[in-house]
Structure 1
Amino acid sequence: MAQKVSDAKNISLKALVDKGRNRVIFVEADNDFIDVLFSFLTIPMGKIFRLARDHSTPLEIGCMNKLYQSIEKLDVQVFRSTECRDMLLLPHSAANCDCKNLKLKIIDDAKPKLFKCPPSRVPHSSRFIGYYSNYRCPVCSDTMDSEAFILEGDSQVGGVFVKERTRVMITDDLQVIPPVSADNISLFTKLGATNGNTTEELTFSIEVEQVVNLLVSSFVSKTPFTETLLKPNPVPKLGGVNFSEGKCIESLMSGASIDEKKENISVRLTVSKSKNVVCYAQVREDFVNLIFSFLTLPLGFILKQMLDSPWKGCIDQLCKSALDFDEQFFKSNYHKELLCNPKLFPGFSYENNLLGIEEAVYHYSDGKLIADGSINKSSVKVNFVDPKFHGDKDRKARGFLKAPAIFTVTDNLDVRPVSSIFQLSVLNDLKVHITDIEDRTVHVGKNEALRLLVASVVSDSILTNAFLRKSKEPSVKQEQ
């Protein structure tokens, strides 16, 4: 397994291994591997599920799997267009143009085709961008049929996110540590790295397959390097975590509105009185738009919302490492922001998005779109025509789904068009008698939306945990 690397499609990693426990203590890596590791934070959740499936690597994260499968199973007529469904199943990354230069690319996104008005037609031709050549310009109402291109990161300049020749230590639980640190001696002792009789140095050849395994393992294991390099095993699922243990947002069960009255989403829960669990919810398309949008979110955004929540794995350590990483090692503030404040690709948000995530901003400069506006101070900010309007005559619609529509959503996020037969089937499966149920109405604002997001990642019972469970008192006191 240990070998030298000569192929350009490989990255060489030196690892210090505990021979007795057959466990990786830490690895040493340069900027090529650091960039690959940090790029995990920019990948949308929907793309992570597709990536794991394409590599035959099982991945179960809370209720996210069921959510992804629901989108696949729903009739395409439920969506405003086929493109809207594809935006959820195969979302673009806002860092795609930079990640093209990774030495190992686990995601090889095709660049989306973008269009604008020809420069010869109108002076504002570079200020409005559409995803389809038959779009009408919002200003001149003419067809946007001139292709626009996004400028990719410069492959001749070393590094993608961090500077060339940057070197770090990475512990088995994904803590990224600069090698020159006064704390390293105590860290070596803590990790058991000081006894030369029980440790050995190995060099590994890392390919795309190992990188995917490392990503998947980091969701469910505290030792992803060991699992990937020394003893590859089937990956367990991430679910059943005690949701109440994290610093989670308190649920509002009274149904009273919070500050964002205009944005609140109404949800009717059907609850088992004896078990105190949500059997299912009857909801409008606005709630389904919200939970479906979880799959468009970059991993780094999700992790930032739950840095104090419980994890079976250690992927949260990667997020913390990026946030704490010394600024001098990043190529620029723009590259740091890509990791520490990841955004949606333009067009993937919608008007009633309660999660507070922004879309990436692009500028037009020298005939191309650029993501880093600081490159050219005279560049012009562009606006993207919402791609969800494609093929939909209803210009008042919001989100990915046609409106109006009613859905049944189970506690583990099985989403289906409303059906009494399905609702009765759910009650039978849960062994809940119809006399044991009651309806409760709750409202979802920004706080509840974030709580739903966190629950969908760490829990198998998102609606119960988001609306019926309360955080333990000690966790609440710690926040004060």
Structure 2
Amino acid sequence: MCDSKEAEFSLKVMINKEKTKVLFAEVDSHFADILLSFLTLPLGRIIKVLNKHYGDDEAPTIGSLSSLYHSLVNLDSSHFCTEGAKQTLLNPRSSIEDEYERIKLDIADFQPPKYLQCRYHYGFDKCRSVSVYYDSINKIHACGCGPNSIREDEEEKECKAASGDGVFTINTASFVISDDLHILPVETGLLGIILILGITDADKAEAINVTFGFSEIMSLLKASLISQTPLSDLILNKSRQANSVIVAFEPESSFSHLEDEQNPDSKKMILKVVIQKSTSKLLYVQANDDFIEFLFSFLNIPLGGVEHLLAGKTCAKAINNLYLSIADLIDDKYFNTPDTKDRLMKPNVAHGCISNNHLLPLTEESLPDTYSGASWFSAKFPNGQGSYLKGPRTYHVTDDLVVTPLCVVSILSSLNKQKIVIYDDVEEVELQIGPKEGLSILKAALTSTSALSDALLNNISIKQPKPEL
């Protein structure tokens, strides 16, 4: 993988006369590729690279995803089918990670893809099984070879020059990016850009030059998730004091756009939701391992995949604009290949990452062509169980998706500290979770630190406590 952290970009930026707002920035195709690559990053990878860059104390809070990821880190490996299962969730892969080496500045911190394959020779077939889980094939004996027959195959790739073909956009193109991350080709023309972006004071605008390096790109990734004006935040130092987003959750009343894609095999999961009746506050949720695995599966979904599932209507407004620009503002001729637009607007989950407990209509990337021979099949999950977590087990989940093993003693102590009268002021409601509820939780998790309340409380009727006489 190329070491590209020293790469820099020169941006021509137009700001208003008061120097309080970025109107737009003009960038080359390499910078546009980096911005579009945000959509290909799995949610867990975003949390990981931001934590690594900022450190635990300064890392931004991305909705409830940050606490969900930290819960995964802290959950003992004994809860997982194998250690490889946990590591796969902690280090979610991208379906296009083998192409990141062609991005001039790689923020994803991906390693070359590794696949495990058997050494078995059967007639003219060289191999019978392949997996992304290092502790999988030899345990399930899926290939019939028995133990000690596995070799690791790491795809060695020559580091390509950053000035070569782009990953998403053609090299000859230049683009304009608005403060809220609309992106459109420079060839749209000045009047077109002003009209599309709704700029009203362009006649008094001032041009400045700004240099973006690795640190600024990381700040842009963070700001795009927690701000509606990420360029002004960075370039004009208008960033909010808080390190987390404050945005009103917008519940989705209908997910009709996905009716044809719903997984026909999806099952309903059962939650026990514990609520304080006097305040209608969600205290915690008691859930089985299938629901916890569903939550952890969020970390494998690319950001563009979340946008697709929610029809570009997440509460991360800047990311919505970036996503919808691909469909509405950038003509096909500016993309590098005919299928680039589809790969950005509906990125697949990496191969071997969709468990039996997923509720959402996700699509998994196929194995690379290297492994597409007729004799190959994929051992998708450790021990062939189709899941990450061992079961049956029960877990405690807080409103911001902190997951811990269920411990009645600790729950009781917590309620007592909050002076909550358990018998009079606490109600337990059983709730079914299907695809619609699952999408609501995903939407809330991206920006809200009260994901379960935002997603579920509208579906619960709470019995108010009787007034004291």
| TM over 0.5, shorter chain | yes
Write out aligned runs for 1:263-278 (5 A).
Answer: 263-278=267-282
Aligned letter for 2:271? V
CA distance in 2, matches of 1:144, 1:127: 11
Q: Residue 258 of structure 2 corresponds to which residue in structure 1?
A: none
Name which of structure 1's ranges 462-471 and 77-86 shifts more when overlaid on structure 2. 462-471
1:334 matched to 2:339: yes
Q: For the structure 1 residues 235 and 303, does the alpha-carbon distance in structure 2 shift closer, same or farther, using more than 3 Å as the test?
A: farther
Q: Which runs of 5+ in 1 are unaligned?
A: 1-6, 251-257, 371-378, 390-394, 472-480
Aligned letter for 1:187? L
1:361 matched to 2:362: no
Aligned CA RMSD, in angstroms, stands at 3.1
CA distance in 2, matches of 1:111, 1:37: 21
Q: 1:316 is matched with which residue: 317, 320, 327?
A: 320
Q: Residue 431 of structure 2 corresponds to which residue in structure 1?
A: 442
Q: Residue 395 of structure 2 corresponds to which residue in structure 1?
A: 407
Aligned letter for 1:285? D
Q: Residue 128 of structure 1 corresponds to which residue in structure 2?
A: 129
Name which of structure 1's ranges 109-118 and 303-312 shifts more when overlaid on structure 2. 303-312
Q: For the structure 1 residues 456 and 262, does the alpha-carbon distance in structure 2 shift closer, same or farther, using more than 3 Å as the test?
A: closer
Q: Residue 95 of structure 1 corresponds to which residue in structure 2?
A: 96
Q: Residue 163 of structure 1 corresponds to which residue in structure 2?
A: 170
| Cα deviation, residue 101, structure 1 | 0.8
CA distance in 1, matches of 2:413, 2:254: 32
Name which of structure 1's ranges 202-211 and 321-330 shifts more when overlaid on structure 2. 321-330
| Cα deviation, residue 46, structure 1 | 1.2
Q: 2:303 is matched with which residue: 295, 299, 302?
A: 299
Q: TM-score, normalised by structure 1?
A: 0.82
* Alignment length (residue pairs): 438
Q: Residue 35 of structure 1 corresponds to which residue in structure 2?
A: 33
Aligned letter for 1:103? K
Counterpart contact for 2:316–2:446, Cα < 8 Å: no
Counterpart contact for 1:363–1:381, Cα < 8 Å: no
Q: Secondary structure at the match of 1:36?
A: helix
Name which of structure 1's ranges 333-342 and 442-451 shifts more when overlaid on structure 2. 333-342
Q: Residue 111 of structure 1 corresponds to which residue in structure 2?
A: 112
| Cα deviation, residue 133, structure 1 | 8.1
Q: TM-score, normalised by structure 2?
A: 0.84
Write out aligned runs for 1:386-425 (5 A).
Answer: 386-389=380-383, 395=384, 397-425=385-413
Deviations 1:24-64 (A, max 9, x none): 21111121011000000011111111211222153212211
| Cα deviation, residue 103, structure 1 | 0.4
Q: For the structure 1 residues 119 and 448, does the alpha-carbon distance in structure 2 shift closer, same or farther, using more than 3 Å as the test?
A: same
Deviations 1:294-327 (A, max 9, x none): 1111111112333564636512211111233321
Q: Secondary structure at the match of 1:384?
A: coil
Q: For the structure 1 residues 235 and 121, does the alpha-carbon distance in structure 2 shift closer, same or farther, using more than 3 Å as the test?
A: farther
CA distance in 1, matches of 2:264, 2:216: 45
| Cα deviation, residue 271, structure 1 | 1.9
Q: Residue 469 of structure 1 corresponds to which residue in structure 2?
A: 458
Q: 1:206 is matched with which residue: 203, 212, 215?
A: 212
Q: Residue 202 of structure 2 corresponds to which residue in structure 1?
A: 194
| Percent identical residues | 26
| Cα deviation, residue 382, structure 1 | 5.3
| Cα deviation, residue 460, structure 1 | 2.4
1:65 matched to 2:66: yes
1:344 matched to 2:349: yes
Q: Secondary structure at the match of 1:54?
A: helix
| Cα deviation, residue 404, structure 1 | 1.4
Q: For the structure 1 residues 60 and 335, does the alpha-carbon distance in structure 2 shift closer, same or farther, using more than 3 Å as the test?
A: same
Q: Which runs of 5+ in 2 are unaligned?
A: 256-261, 461-469
Structure number with the higher helix fraction is 2
Q: Residue 465 of structure 2 corresponds to which residue in structure 1?
A: none
